[in-house]
Structure 1
Amino acid sequence: MSLSIQQALTKAFGNNKNIRVLHVQEYAAGDALVPLSEEANASSRRASHGVTLVKLFLRTTGPAPDLPLPDAGTDIGMEIWLPEPGFWNNRIRCQIQGAFMGDFRVASPRHFSIPICTDLLSGEIASELGYVVSTTDGGHSVEDMEDFSYLMNADGSINSEGWKNLAYESAHVLGITTKELTEAYYGQPAAYSYLYGCSSGGRAAYHSAQQYPDDFDGLLIGAPSLTQSLMFPSLLHPIIVIQNELGGEPFKENQLEIVSQRALAAGDTTVNGQHDGYLTDWESNSYDPTQDLEILDTSSGGTCTEPWALSLAQAKAINKIWYGPTLDGEIPEPSDDNGSSCPRSKNQLFWGKIRGTRIEYTTIARGAATGLLALALQDSSLASPNWNHPTGVGRDNWRTWSYAQYASALVKCQSMNSHFANMDADEPQLLKRAQANGTKILTYHGLADPITNPQNSINYYRTSAEHTGGLAKTREFHRLFLIPGMGHCFRMAGCAGAAKPPIPTLEELFTALVTWTEENKAPDSLIAQSVDGTITRPIGMFLGRPMGPKYLGGDIHAASSYEVAC
C-alpha cells in the first residue's frame, strides 16, 4: 500500500472506531482490472489510468469488529475506487444496487462489485472517466440477492436496524464516507457529488433527495420502486389471477407474447402512422382481447384455429393482469379504464403492466415479492423455498389465496411500511428541500418495464409538481423521461415482439445530468439510439401527459425527422 493512500485512510478514518478497512489494492495504468479471485489474461479489462480500490465497512450500532456480519443488517459494506490524482475529474459518483442490494462482492477482498445497469466495472468508470466511484451492499452480503430473510429476527420480529440501513441510511453513509476519503486522498473536497440508483436503488435515491437533500448535487434515478410495500407483492398478481380465473392452469406457449403484440399493434402508430412496435401513448390504449375475434378460439365465439388461440376466460384474465390488483378482483371495461390512470381508481390497489409489455415472465414468482409477504405477515411459510429461517422455511403458501385474501395481504403490506423504516419513498412533498438546495434530479423509466410500474413514477412526478410550484417550476430541478419500449433498468427492450426501440445508454443519461447540474443546461430531450444503431429518435421530457415527438416527414428511423415539445 502506497504512503499516500495510507495517510488518506488514517486522516479520514483514523479516529472512527465504527469503520474497518478490509482491503486496499492499487492498479497502475495498463494493469488488468481483475480481483484477487481471478487470473489476468489477454481478454482482461485494463486500467486506462492508475486507480486504487478500497474496501471497508461501517457498523451503524457501535465499534466495528474485524469482519462484517453478513446478515445482521448493521454492517454497511462499501467499495470505493479512487482515480490517480492527476486524472480525477473532481466528481464523486455513488451507486446503489437494486432489489435488496446485498451483493456479497462489495465487502469481499477477493471480488469486485457487479456493474450497475451498465457493462462498465466501477474500476473502469474511475480509470477511464475520472470519477471517484463507490457502491454499497446496503448492510448485508449474500449469494442470493433476493434472500433478505435477515430482515426478520429469529423470533419473527422486524430487524429495524437492517431495514433502516437498507431503506435509506446506507446511501447516506455511502455519500458521507466517500466524501471523507476523497477529501483526505486528494487534499480537497469534490466539486460535485452524484448518486445513481435503479429499481429499489432508485427508490433509495428518492429517499436521499427527500431526507438528505444536502448529500448530493445531482441524482440519476431509474425505474424507481417508489411504493415498494405494494409494488413487490403486486408482482404476484398475475399468478393470483391465473389461480382464480383459470384454476391454476398456466397459459400456453406464445399466448401471452401474441396477445401483447396485438395490444401493441392497436396503439403503436400514434407518432408517425407506422407501426413502431412499442407504445408512446400508454393512457389511450384500451385494446381488449375479449373483443378480438382473431385471437379467440371458436368455442369462445372467435375465428382463430391456431394452437395458441385464447379462450374467453384467458382473455379476461389477461385484462386483469394488465389492470392490476383490486380490492375484490373485479375490473372495469378497458374502454372505460385501462388501468394506467394516475392517481389509481378507488378499487385499484396498485397498477398492473402497461399493454404491450412482455408479460410472459411476470407469471414467475419473485423472491422479493414472496419475501416481503413473509415479513409483513410475519409468516415464513409465505416465502419462496429459498427462504430458510429459524421461524420456518418458505413454502409459497400464498398460491391458493382468493382475491380477497390477496387484497388483505396487500393492505397489510402497505400498513407495515412504517415498521419497515418507512421503506416507501413516495413522499413527494419532501422534495421542496431539494428544490430549495438547487439539487438536480433526472429520472427515467421504461414504458415497457415488466417489474416496476412506470405509472408509479408518473403519479409521483405529477404529485410532486403540486408541492413544488407546478410542472413548469418543477422542471427547473426535477425532470422525468419516459422511454418507449424500454424494459427494466438495463438498455434492452421490454416490449413484446421484435422491435428495436431507441434507448439511451446509462452514460448518456449521466452526462445529461452532469451538464444540467454543472452548466445549468437542462435536458429538454434525449437523442436515443437502438442497441444495433439502426434507429435514432428524440425522447422528450414528460410534460404532464403522453406526448411523443412530432413527425416532420422523412426517414421514420432518423431522429432528424422528429421534433419534441418543450
Structure 2
Amino acid sequence: MRRISASRSLGVTTLGAALLSLASQGASAQMSCEQISTETLGVIGVEVTSKRAVAESETLPAHCEINALTAQRVGEDGWDYAVNFQINLPDDWNGDFVHQFNGGNDGSVNPATGPLLSGNRERTALGRGYAVLSSDAGHNGSAQNAEAGLAAGSRFGLDPEARSFYGYKTVEVLTPIAKQIIHNFYGDDPRYSYGVGCSNGGRHGMVTASRLGDAYDGFLVGAPGFNLPKAAVQHALDVQQLSSLNSDIQKSLTDEDRLLVASAVLHACDALDGLEDSLVSDTAACQATFDIDNYVCPEGQTDACIAPEKAEVLKTIHAGPMDRKGNPLYSDWAWDSGIAGSDWRFWKISSGIPPWGGNPLIAVMGSSSLAQVFTTPPTKVDGTPEELINFLLDFDIANDGDQIYARRGKFHESAMAFMTPPDAKNPKMKKFERGGGKMIIFHGVADPVFSYNDTVNWYNRLDENYRGEADKFVKLYPVPGMNHCAGGPATDDFDLFSKLVDWVESGNEPQAVTASIAAGNGERFSDWSEDRTRKLCPYPQVARYQGGDPESAESFSCE
C-alpha cells in the first residue's frame, strides 16, 4: 500500500513548495469552517477570499468550502493574474485527496465536487468523502470579455507566464498547497492522492504524471488532449475542408450525411466482433476493413450513398493535417459509427449557439486558442464569429503549422513544451511507475476533438518501452461510438474511478468494465434496448460476442 505524505510532496521543487510554511504543524483536532482565515490556515502565499460551511444535500456531504488564491502577479500584458482555487473539505473525510482537472481553456474555478467522468453526472469524489481541489489554472477567462469578445477565454496566451501556468505550473503550485491545507485542517496528511479529468483535464493528468510522478498515486484520464496544440492545427484543416463543401460551414455536412457515413461503417465493420448490433467493438479491424470509396454515389445516383466530394473531404479530415513535406502534424482518426453523434456536429459543424453565430466549437474556442495560445508568436484576434472562423480559413497549415514548436523573444517555451508531457514522444513516466502509480485512460473512438488513434499510438509507444507490460501500471479503455468524454451512440456510463482506487489501494488489476447507456443520452440507434450494457475491454482486447442476450454485457468476453 502506497502512502503519500506531506513531507514527500514538499520534496517537489516548485513555486508551490516555496510558498509553504516551513514549520510543520503537529497533529491536532479537525478545524471548523468558522475558524478558517488566511492566518489560521497558515500557508504562506495563500490568501483566503471566502469560506462557508455547506450543509449536507441529497448528493453531497456536509463540507467546508474554501476559496483562495495564490501566485498573484501582474503579467507582461498588463493584466492581473493569480491562481484562484476552491478546496472542499468534507466533515466526514475519507482520508484521501482528489485534484479535479478542468477542461477547455480553464479560466474559471469550477465547483470542486470532483466529477468522476463518463456520461454519469451523479458520481463525484466529494460525494464519496474525498477532499477535492479545483482551480482556474492561473487566469481569469472572462477578464477581457468587453475587449476580446469570444476570444477572451484565450487572451491570456499573450502573456508568456500565463501560458506556462495553464500548461503545467498551476498543478505544480497547487499540489503541495492543497496537501498542506488538508494537513492543517484535519491534522493529518492525505493517505492517497488522485488526479481526475477529461479533455484538457485529461491532458493535465498526463502532464502531471510525467512532471510530478511521485506526488500522486493514481490518475483517471479521459479523452486526453495531451497533444492539444497539434489538435488545434486539425481545427484549421476541418474548417478549411468543410468550407470547401459550402461557404457556410454549418451546411457542409448534414445530419443525414453523417448518418450515411455511420451506416457505411456499420455495414463494413459491425459483424467483426461476432454480432451485428449497431456498434463497432473491433476498432482496429474496422480501420483495416472500411473504405469510404465503396459507399460513394456512382454517377447519376444520389440516394443512400455518400456524395464523392463529401467522401474526399472526410478522407482528408480523417488523415489529419500535413506539413509542406507531407509529414503528419497531428494524427489520423478512427472511422466509427459515432460520427452520427450530436457532439460530433457540435464540435465540427454547428453549435446552434446564437452568440457564436451558430458556428462549431472548433471555430470559436479552437480558433482563438490556436491564434493566441498554441502558436508563437501569438496572434491577437478579434472575438467575433466572423473573425474567428476567418483565422482558421486563412491559416497556412503546411507552412505555419510548425509554429506550435516555435519560441521567440519573451515566449521562451513553445506550445508543445508547456502543453504536453515532457516525454510524450517517448513515454516512460519513470518516476510515476517506479513509485507504484496507476493510471486508467478512456477515450471515445468517435471523439471529434482529440484523435483516439493518437492516444492508441502513445500507448503503443509506452508499451514498447515497457516490453509489452505497460498494462501493469496504465490501462487504456476504448469506448466504441462515444464522442468527446461522453455522449454519442455508445454505452457511456461506467465507473472507472472505483476500478482505479481498487487497483491503487488493494492491488486488484482492472479487467473488463461494464458500461450502460447514460441517463439523458438519447442517441442510441433504433435497434438498441435502452437497457443495453456492454463490456469495455482494456486495449488491445476486444469485446466479442459469445452467444446469449445480445443486449447484455454478460454475452461478451474480452479477447
Answer yes or no: same fold by TM over 0.5. Answer: yes
- The equivalent of 1:103 in structure 2 is 108
- The equivalent of 1:409 in structure 2 is 400
- 2:48 is the alignment partner of 1:21: yes
- The equivalent of 1:563 in structure 2 is 557
Residue 73 to residue 561, structure 1, CA distance change in 2 (3 Å): farther
- 3-state DSSP class of the match of 1:225? coil
TM-score (normalizing by structure 1): 0.77
Residue 374 to residue 272, structure 1, CA distance change in 2 (3 Å): same
Would the aligned equivalents of 2:367 and 2:392 in 1 still touch at CA under 8 Å? no
In 2: Cα distance, 1:484 partner to 1:189 partner: 40
Task: Judging by fraction of residues, say which structure has more helix.
Answer: 2
Q: Which amino acid aligns with 1:531?
A: A
Would the aligned equivalents of 1:72 and 1:139 in 2 still touch at CA under 8 Å? no
Residue 213 to residue 197, structure 1, CA distance change in 2 (3 Å): same
Q: Give CA-to-partner distance per residue, 1:365-394, whole Å, 9 cap, x none.
A: 4333212332315464666526xxxxxx94
Would the aligned equivalents of 1:69 and 1:140 in 2 still touch at CA under 8 Å? no
- Residue 272 of structure 1 and its aligned partner are, at CA, apart by 2.2
In 2: Cα distance, 1:216 partner to 1:410 partner: 34
Greater alpha carbon shift after TM alignment, 435-444 vs 136-145 = 136-145
Q: Which amino acid aligns with 2:139?
A: H
- The equivalent of 1:269 in structure 2 is 271
In 2: Cα distance, 1:549 partner to 1:120 partner: 25
Counterpart selection for 1:312 from 308, 315, 327: 308
Greater alpha carbon shift after TM alignment, 312-321 vs 518-527 = 312-321
Q: Give CA-to-partner distance per residue, 1:24-77, whole Å, 9 cap, x none.
A: 010233xxxxxxxxxxxxxxx546542110000111659xxxxx9999574111
- The equivalent of 1:351 in structure 2 is 331
Residue 248 to residue 522, structure 1, CA distance change in 2 (3 Å): same
For 1:433-512, what aligned pairs fall within 5 Å after superposition? 433-467=431-465, 469-472=466-469, 474-490=470-486, 492-493=487-488, 499=489, 501-505=490-494, 508-512=495-499
Residue 328 to residue 290, structure 1, CA distance change in 2 (3 Å): farther
- The equivalent of 1:50 in structure 2 is 62
TM-score (normalizing by structure 2): 0.78
Counterpart selection for 2:320 from 324, 335, 344: 324
Would the aligned equivalents of 1:51 and 1:81 in 2 still touch at CA under 8 Å? yes
- 2:131 is the alignment partner of 1:132: yes
| Structure 1 alignment gaps of length 5 or more | 30-44, 63-67, 107-111, 154-158, 330-345, 387-392, 494-498
- Residue 396 of structure 1 and its aligned partner are, at CA, apart by 3.8
In 2: Cα distance, 1:415 partner to 1:137 partner: 26
Would the aligned equivalents of 2:444 and 2:481 in 1 still touch at CA under 8 Å? yes
In 1: Cα distance, 2:182 partner to 2:280 partner: 44
- The equivalent of 2:531 in structure 1 is 534
Would the aligned equivalents of 1:69 and 1:75 in 2 still touch at CA under 8 Å? no
- Residue 191 of structure 1 and its aligned partner are, at CA, apart by 0.8
Q: CA RMSD in A?
A: 3.3
- Residue 445 of structure 1 and its aligned partner are, at CA, apart by 0.8
Q: Give CA-to-partner distance per residue, 1:111-162, whole Å, 9 cap, x none.
A: x78967466589x642x31111111110122348973343344xxxxx2211
- Residue 459 of structure 1 and its aligned partner are, at CA, apart by 1.1
- Residue 305 of structure 1 and its aligned partner are, at CA, apart by 4.2
In 2: Cα distance, 1:121 partner to 1:279 partner: 27
- 3-state DSSP class of the match of 1:258? helix
For 1:132-531, what aligned pairs fall within 5 Å after superposition? 132-143=131-142, 147-153=152-158, 159-244=159-244, 250-251=251-252, 253=254, 254-282=256-284, 284-285=286-287, 286-293=289-296, 296=297, 300-301=298-299, 303-305=301-303, 310-327=306-323, 347-356=327-336, 357-358=338-339, 359-361=344-346, 362-363=348-349, 364=360, 365-375=362-372, 376=375, 378=377, 380=379, 384-385=383-384, 394-401=387-394, 405-415=396-406, 418-420=413-415, 422-425=418-421, 426-467=424-465, 469-472=466-469, 474-490=470-486, 492-493=487-488, 499=489, 501-505=490-494, 508-531=495-518
- 3-state DSSP class of the match of 2:137? coil
In 2: Cα distance, 1:180 partner to 1:69 partner: 30
In 1: Cα distance, 2:273 partner to 2:42 partner: 59
- The equivalent of 2:523 in structure 1 is none
- The equivalent of 1:549 in structure 2 is 543
- 3-state DSSP class of the match of 1:527? strand
- Residue 265 of structure 1 and its aligned partner are, at CA, apart by 2.6
- 3-state DSSP class of the match of 1:190? coil
In 2: Cα distance, 1:379 partner to 1:76 partner: 22
In 1: Cα distance, 2:225 partner to 2:241 partner: 22
In 1: Cα distance, 2:107 partner to 2:379 partner: 20
Would the aligned equivalents of 2:38 and 2:47 in 1 still touch at CA under 8 Å? no
Residue 69 to residue 316, structure 1, CA distance change in 2 (3 Å): closer
Q: Which amino acid aligns with 1:503?
A: D
- 3-state DSSP class of the match of 1:101? coil
Residue 284 to residue 146, structure 1, CA distance change in 2 (3 Å): farther
Once the two structures are aligned, what percentage of the paired residues are identical?
A: 20
In 2: Cα distance, 1:12 partner to 1:120 partner: 35
Q: Which amino acid aligns with 2:67?
A: K
Q: Give CA-to-partner distance per residue, 1:456-504, whole Å, 9 cap, x none.
A: 111111112233x2222x21111111111121113x22xxxxx4x2234
Would the aligned equivalents of 1:527 and 1:559 in 2 still touch at CA under 8 Å? yes
Would the aligned equivalents of 1:325 and 1:349 in 2 still touch at CA under 8 Å? yes
- 3-state DSSP class of the match of 1:98? coil
In 2: Cα distance, 1:204 partner to 1:165 partner: 11
Q: Which amino acid aligns with 2:311?
A: A
- The equivalent of 1:341 in structure 2 is none
- 3-state DSSP class of the match of 1:148? helix
In 2: Cα distance, 1:270 partner to 1:236 partner: 34
Q: Which amino acid aligns with 2:129?
A: G
In 2: Cα distance, 1:57 partner to 1:3 partner: 20
- The equivalent of 1:109 in structure 2 is none
Would the aligned equivalents of 2:217 and 2:438 in 1 still touch at CA under 8 Å? yes
Give the total of aligned pairs.
484
- 3-state DSSP class of the match of 2:418? coil
Greater alpha carbon shift after TM alignment, 317-326 vs 208-217 = 317-326
In 2: Cα distance, 1:550 partner to 1:105 partner: 39
Would the aligned equivalents of 1:27 and 1:51 in 2 still touch at CA under 8 Å? yes
Greater alpha carbon shift after TM alignment, 268-277 vs 350-359 = 350-359
| Structure 2 alignment gaps of length 5 or more | 1-29, 350-359, 520-529
Greater alpha carbon shift after TM alignment, 513-522 vs 348-357 = 348-357
- Residue 401 of structure 1 and its aligned partner are, at CA, apart by 3.8
Greater alpha carbon shift after TM alignment, 51-60 vs 360-369 = 360-369
In 1: Cα distance, 2:322 partner to 2:246 partner: 18
Would the aligned equivalents of 2:43 and 2:181 in 1 still touch at CA under 8 Å? no
Would the aligned equivalents of 2:493 and 2:515 in 1 still touch at CA under 8 Å? yes
Residue 281 to residue 3, structure 1, CA distance change in 2 (3 Å): closer
Residue 105 to residue 560, structure 1, CA distance change in 2 (3 Å): closer
Would the aligned equivalents of 2:197 and 2:220 in 1 still touch at CA under 8 Å? yes
Q: Which amino acid aligns with 2:290?
A: Y
Q: Give CA-to-partner distance per residue, 1:417-472, whole Å, 9 cap, x none.
A: 933352122255350111111111111111111111111111111112233x2222
In 2: Cα distance, 1:256 partner to 1:455 partner: 20
Q: Give CA-to-partner distance per residue, 1:510-550, whole Å, 9 cap, x none.
A: 1111110000001022111222661122221113xxx4223
In 2: Cα distance, 1:380 partner to 1:408 partner: 16
In 1: Cα distance, 2:116 partner to 2:77 partner: 21
- Residue 100 of structure 1 and its aligned partner are, at CA, apart by 1.2
In 2: Cα distance, 1:120 partner to 1:313 partner: 40
